[in-house]
Structure 1
Amino acid sequence: MSNAFRELLKKVGSGTHTSKALTRQEAATAMGMMLTQEATPAQIGAFLIAHRIRRPTGEELAGMLDAFDQYGPQVPAIQSEKPVVILSQPYDGRDRTLPLGPLTSLVLAAAGIPVLQHGGDVMPTKAGVPLIDIWQGLGIHWRSLSLGQIQEILQNTDIGFVYLPEHFPLAHGLVPYREQIGKRPPLATVELIWCPYSGPAHIVAGFVHPPTELMMREALNLRGITEFTTVKGLEGSCDLPRERTGIIGLNRSLEGSESFSRLRLHAQDYGFAGKNPPWQGLSPGLREIKAVLAGEPGELHQALVWNSGFYLWQFYPMQTLEEGIQLTQELLEKGIVQEKLNQLQKMTHCRSISA
């Protein structure tokens, strides 16, 4: 048993009226002791569920991210005039709507915007489809690649993926606790705003509940990150909804000062009203994705154009959302997105064989 960890646990787990938030340094220490398993399984489980009940503060999240930086991987920086977009998704996956993340990454990369994703395998508590399975179904083999190979692929194709079991086994070692405590721990929020990249980056983080967004914003601001985007997306992802208002937070640094603005987008105002395609399993999902890449129209095509059009507007950059939508349609119609997938398939296949 770690006596040092026990003191931190007592602080956050003392009850509604007596528990106290950890300082940033204390949160970093606690996270480090959990990653290295210096804390016992009983202590780790107790800490995660106590923190889940009390809810972490932005300062605590900042400390946990400090520990992720200390113990976790970072893809070395590539040569790029544009910051790498960190397109985050909940690690425990999706089970209601078809994920757009891989397709959106391909569209952005086809436009010359580098994108880095990260995640693991099927994970509690939701146990939805993880992005790695969709990439695998598209012929992209991320699982066996080293960080150096990920950097090379990111440099040449503008797409990369950090795979938790291979690249951050310490964090992967905490996955079983999610099943045992039966609830998403604060780690799930940390993962949404983690940046496993050493160069200039722009984090895009999805959220469900407004208090979570406030915590994420505070944590990122404390860490000196002034350029990031938050999205009240589908199932906590970065995928913009079509059937309801898209609520987006834009944190930007302008002329030395930081500003936060709220953007509300209505898909129907741009001709994209409808519902995002439901998730019906990996095989049907892959068929839909491949059909879109082949140029077939449908609901998934509409969802992708709406989603990617927004991100092209933000990162290309363009003057209007309509320009982003138009460019997305052109990239799909001309087969440039499919060409990007073909390029990525060849590179990852060659590197996975040599790994």
Structure 2
Amino acid sequence: MSHQFRELLKKVGSGTHTSKQLTRQEAALATRMMLQQEATPAQIGAFLIAHRIRRPTSIELAGILDAYGVLGPRLSSQPSSKAAMVFGLPYDGRSRTAPAQPLVALLLATMGCPVVLHGSNCMPTKYGLPLIDIWQGLGIDWMGLSLAQVQAVFQATGVGFLYLPEQFPLAQGLVPYREQIGKRPPMATAELMWCPYAGDACLVSGYVHPPTEGLLTGTLDLQGIPHYLTVKGLEGSSDLPRARTAIIGIHRHGSEERLLLHAREYGLGDSSEFPLSEPLVYIEQLQQLLRGAPSPLMPVALWNGGFYLWQSGLCSSLEAGIAQAETLLVSGQVQETVTRLCDRIAASRRRDPLILR
């Protein structure tokens, strides 16, 4: 048993009236001790559920991210003048609405904007469709790659995906606790703000509940992130809704611009969000879109792709971004990016199959 960790546990688990906020340094220490399994399983489980019940603060989340910065992986910057876009999405995936994020990443990369994403397998508590499964459905298999191989793929294609079991096994080691406690732990909130990229970037964090937005802005300001977006997205993701107002906060160097966007004003709205059907059906819809064939996912792709092409600075307006997204999809240029990704991953495996992980 770690007596040092027990003192940290006592601070967060002493009840409504006597529990105390951890300092940023204490939160970082607690996170490092959990990631490195210096605390016992009983202590880790108790800490995670106690912290969940009490709710983390921005200072504590900043400490968690400090620990991730020390122990976690990081992709090196692209030799590009464009800032990368780094997306923080819920690791437990999507269960109700069709994800647009893979298409957004491919559209941005096709236009020369680097994109960094991270995630794991099907995960509690939602057990939704994770990004890794969508990538594999498109023939893009990030499994089994070392960090050096992911970096090489990123340098060649502009798309990088950090897969927890391979690139951050310490964090993957805490996943079983999510299932055992039956709740998302504080790490699930921190993951929305994790920026595993050493370069100029725009961080995009999705959320569901309004109080979470305050946690995001407070934490990212403490982290000194100069440019980030907060998106009240579908199922906590960065995907913009089409059936309701899209609420976005654009933060640059301490200032905030608030956007309220309506898809119907651009001919892309609907009375309900496009549902996530069976994964195989969804993958087929994605493939149809990439082939330039008619697909019911087109409005989803245009609304989200157009927005992020605009926010990346690749297009001068949302209207221009929507038009550019359609051109890229219909012309087959995004499919070419998929092919290039598949080929580069295959080449990386052939060149360095025995690289240490």
Instruction: Please say whether Structure 1 and Structure 2 have the same fold, judged by a TM-score greater than 0.5.
Output: yes
Bigger mean CA deviation after superposition, 294-303 or 111-120: 294-303
Partner residue in 2 for 1:260: 256
Q: Which structure 1 residue ranges, 5 or more long, are not aligned?
A: none
Structure 2 residue 228 is matched with structure 1 residue 210: no
Partner residue in 1 for 2:235: 235
Alpha-carbon contact 2:109-2:158 (below 8 Å) kept: yes
Structure 2 residue 265 is matched with structure 1 residue 269: yes
Alpha-carbon contact 1:249-1:261 (below 8 Å) kept: yes
Alpha-carbon contact 2:137-2:283 (below 8 Å) kept: yes
Please report how far the alpha carbon of residue 179 of structure 1 lies from its aligned counterpart in structure 2 after TM superposition.
0.4
Residue among 288, 291, 301 paired with 1:291: 288
Alpha-carbon contact 2:111-2:314 (below 8 Å) kept: no
Matches within 5 A, 1:301-312: 301-312=298-309
Matches within 5 A, 1:20-99: 20-99=20-99
| Structure 2 residue matching 1:60: 3-state secondary structure | helix
- Taking the aligned partners of 2:173 and 2:278, their CA distance within structure 1 comes to 27
- Taking the aligned partners of 1:170 and 1:281, their CA distance within structure 2 comes to 32
| Structure 2 residue matching 1:262: 3-state secondary structure | strand
What is the aligned residue count?
Answer: 351
Alpha-carbon contact 2:89-2:192 (below 8 Å) kept: yes
Matches within 5 A, 1:1-355: 1-253=1-253, 258-274=254-270, 275-353=272-350, 354-355=352-353
Please report how far the alpha carbon of residue 235 of structure 1 lies from its aligned counterpart in structure 2 after TM superposition.
0.5
String of CA shifts for 1:93-147, please: whole Å, max 9, x gaps.
1111111111110111111111011000111111111100110111111111121
String of CA shifts for 1:167-225, please: whole Å, max 9, x gaps.
00000000000000001111101111001111222110100011111111111111111
- Taking the aligned partners of 1:320 and 1:142, their CA distance within structure 2 comes to 33
Alpha-carbon contact 2:101-2:239 (below 8 Å) kept: yes
Please report how far the alpha carbon of residue 352 of structure 1 lies from its aligned counterpart in structure 2 after TM superposition.
2.9
- Taking the aligned partners of 2:182 and 2:305, their CA distance within structure 1 comes to 34
Please report how far the alpha carbon of residue 83 of structure 1 lies from its aligned counterpart in structure 2 after TM superposition.
1.4
Alpha-carbon contact 1:141-1:352 (below 8 Å) kept: no
Superposition TM-score, scaled by structure 1 size: 0.97
- Taking the aligned partners of 1:131 and 1:187, their CA distance within structure 2 comes to 18
| Structure 2 residue matching 1:139: 3-state secondary structure | coil
- Taking the aligned partners of 1:247 and 1:328, their CA distance within structure 2 comes to 21
Alpha-carbon contact 2:152-2:348 (below 8 Å) kept: no
| Structure 1 residue matching 2:203: 3-state secondary structure | strand
Alpha-carbon contact 1:245-1:266 (below 8 Å) kept: yes
Bigger mean CA deviation after superposition, 121-130 or 311-320: 311-320
Please report how far the alpha carbon of residue 18 of structure 1 lies from its aligned counterpart in structure 2 after TM superposition.
1.1
Please report how far the alpha carbon of residue 73 of structure 1 lies from its aligned counterpart in structure 2 after TM superposition.
0.7
Alpha-carbon contact 1:100-1:239 (below 8 Å) kept: yes
**How big is the alpha-carbon RMSD for the aligned residues of Structure 1 and Structure 2?**
1.1
- Taking the aligned partners of 1:186 and 1:238, their CA distance within structure 2 comes to 19
Paired AA for residue 117 in structure 1: L
- Taking the aligned partners of 2:217 and 2:199, their CA distance within structure 1 comes to 20
Paired AA for residue 8 in structure 1: L
Alpha-carbon contact 1:77-1:151 (below 8 Å) kept: no
| Structure 1 residue matching 2:75: 3-state secondary structure | coil
Bigger mean CA deviation after superposition, 57-66 or 94-103: 94-103
| Structure 2 residue matching 1:299: 3-state secondary structure | coil
Alpha-carbon contact 1:276-1:300 (below 8 Å) kept: no
| Structure 1 residue matching 2:116: 3-state secondary structure | strand
Please report how far the alpha carbon of residue 318 of structure 1 lies from its aligned counterpart in structure 2 after TM superposition.
3.0
Paired AA for residue 346 in structure 1: D
- Taking the aligned partners of 1:57 and 1:156, their CA distance within structure 2 comes to 39
Paired AA for residue 259 in structure 1: S
Alpha-carbon contact 1:140-1:349 (below 8 Å) kept: no
Alpha-carbon contact 1:76-1:148 (below 8 Å) kept: no
- Taking the aligned partners of 1:213 and 1:91, their CA distance within structure 2 comes to 18
Alpha-carbon contact 2:207-2:232 (below 8 Å) kept: yes
Paired AA for residue 208 in structure 2: V
String of CA shifts for 1:229-286, please: whole Å, max 9, x gaps.
1111110001111001101110012xxxx20121111111111111332112221111
Please report how far the alpha carbon of residue 15 of structure 1 lies from its aligned counterpart in structure 2 after TM superposition.
0.7
Paired AA for residue 333 in structure 1: V
Superposition TM-score, scaled by structure 2 size: 0.96
Alpha-carbon contact 1:93-1:127 (below 8 Å) kept: yes
Please report how far the alpha carbon of residue 297 of structure 1 lies from its aligned counterpart in structure 2 after TM superposition.
3.1
Bigger mean CA deviation after superposition, 185-194 or 288-297: 288-297
- Taking the aligned partners of 2:316 and 2:104, their CA distance within structure 1 comes to 20
Please report how far the alpha carbon of residue 296 of structure 1 lies from its aligned counterpart in structure 2 after TM superposition.
2.6
